[in-house]
Amino acid sequence: MTDDRPVRCSDAEREQTTKALNNAAGEGRLSLAEVEERVTVVYAAQYRHELDAVVADLPAPAPRPSWQPLLLLAGHQLVTDFGAAPPRRKLAVGILLMFAVAAMVFLAMHGVADEGEHFGHR
């Protein structure tokens, strides 16, 4: 059994709907007058279905690309390549990483020791 009772909308949902309307105007799908009319309805809305009706004739927003799959793939590739690397290359990478960490520690300590003075700025 489904619950068909209307659900009240939140301020965040109103803002999200308003953003969708502004994006549609920026894409040339709505005139400024249409946006103004619809935004008035958005802020008067009490229920989610009222917000849905305001943007029903607009296309759904395109999915935003996510960096997580790309970063996971790059990390996997790095681990795979590093595991297959010759011992001398592993040693060289280890030494470079130690120097990089030492440099970061040095810069962090330098910033703390100078009491907030960074790169000549006070």
Q: Record the tokens describing residue 94, joined without a space.
A: 């280890």
Q: Residue 13 to residues 16, 18, 44, 62, 107: CA-CA distances in angstroms? A: 5, 9, 13, 18, 44
pTM (2 d.p.): 0.52
**Residue 115: pLDDT above 70?**
no
Cα–Cα distance between 84 and 115 in angstroms, integer?
45
Predicted confidence at residue 87, as pLDDT, reads 86
Q: Record the tokens describing residue 39, joined without a space.
A: 């935004």
> What value, to the nearest 5°, has the Cα angle with vertex 65 and ends 60 and 67?
155
**Residue 27: pLDDT above 80?**
yes
Cα–Cα distance between 29 and 40 in angstroms, integer?
18
**Residue that wins the pLDDT comparison between 28 and 64:** 28
Predicted confidence at residue 117, as pLDDT, reads 56
Give percent of the chain above pLDDT 70.
89
